[in-house]
Amino acid sequence: MKSLRGAKRWAGLLVLVALGLAAGCRETPTGPSPAPAADAEGWESLFDPGAPGLGRWEVTRFGGQGDVRVEDGRIILGMGPADLTGITWTEDPLRMNYEVALEAMRVDGSDFFCGLTVPVRYSCVTLIVGGWGGSLVGLSSFNDMDASENETTRILSFANGRWYRIRMRVTETKIEAWIDDEQVIDAEPGERKISVRSEVELSQPLGIAAWRTKAAIRNIRVRSLPQ
């Protein structure tokens, strides 16, 4: 009788182990969600407004940065006690022959609401939109000359509470940028040193920041260009 009871007990244990293994095989693997497929024009979204949190972005630890949150499908960069608030891409970005685009709004404040830092091969550069008191556009930096000091400097008017479509193109010979449908940057760096200002080094290699300004960001996209 003892042998029979022991055999039944072992048989029951084997059934439970088998069921556990089968359940484990059916579990959905955890980990980051796959990147969304590119659309018909080759654009891949870098932010899913329907997903929780910042997705593949993280808050840039400038120190003293404002609150960063997702609200109504937009990333809000709040003003903090320090100058800069931003987000940085957590994955390896394209570094040459690509375009990156987004929409940005200055919600409150009077300085740049989009400091878009992007890779240029092994270096990085920042497109400033609305800097130096609210109206300057340019690239920082060429030969350590920032957006207010080199030939890319433009003075434009920006209204608070309005969305602006911003697009950058980086190729072997040029760095270009558009705001809405107007081309605002058409630069050929040549052999000059390309770099970012020290304040935004933590935005590298791909990041978005605002200076003493509350900003909203949406529709961040990237696409590869033919070699």
Mean pLDDT by 10 residues, the chain (227 residues): 46 42 37 63 95 96 97 97 97 98 98 98 97 97 97 98 98 98 97 97 98 98 95
**Cα–Cα distance measured from residue 84 to residue 66, given in angstroms and rounded to the nearest whole number:** 8
Per-residue confidence (pLDDT) for residue 117, from 0 to 100: 98
Beta bridge partners of 70: 75
Q: What is the pLDDT of residue 140?
A: 98
| CA distances, 223 to each of 30, 44, 52, 135 (Å) | 27, 6, 24, 28
Give the pair of three-digit tokens for residue 210: 């605002």
Residue 40's pLDDT is 87
Structure tokens at 39: 């659309």
Residue 211: left if φ>0, alpha if ψ -120 to 50, beta else—which one?
A: beta
The domains found in the chain, sorted by start residue, are 44-224 (2.60.120.560)
pLDDT at 36: 61
Distance CA 178, CA 129 (A): 11
Whole-model pTM? 0.84
Cβ atoms of 89 and 75 within 8 Å: the answer is no
Q: Are the beta carbons of 79 and 66 closer than 8 angstroms?
A: yes
- Rg (C-alpha) for the chain, rounded Å, is 24
What would the two tokens of residue 183 be?
Answer: 């081309």
| The predicted structure's pLDDT at residue 37 | 74
List beta partners, residue 120: 123
What's the chain's length in residues?
227
CA distances from 212 to 31, 48, 53, 114, 148 (A): 35, 26, 23, 11, 17
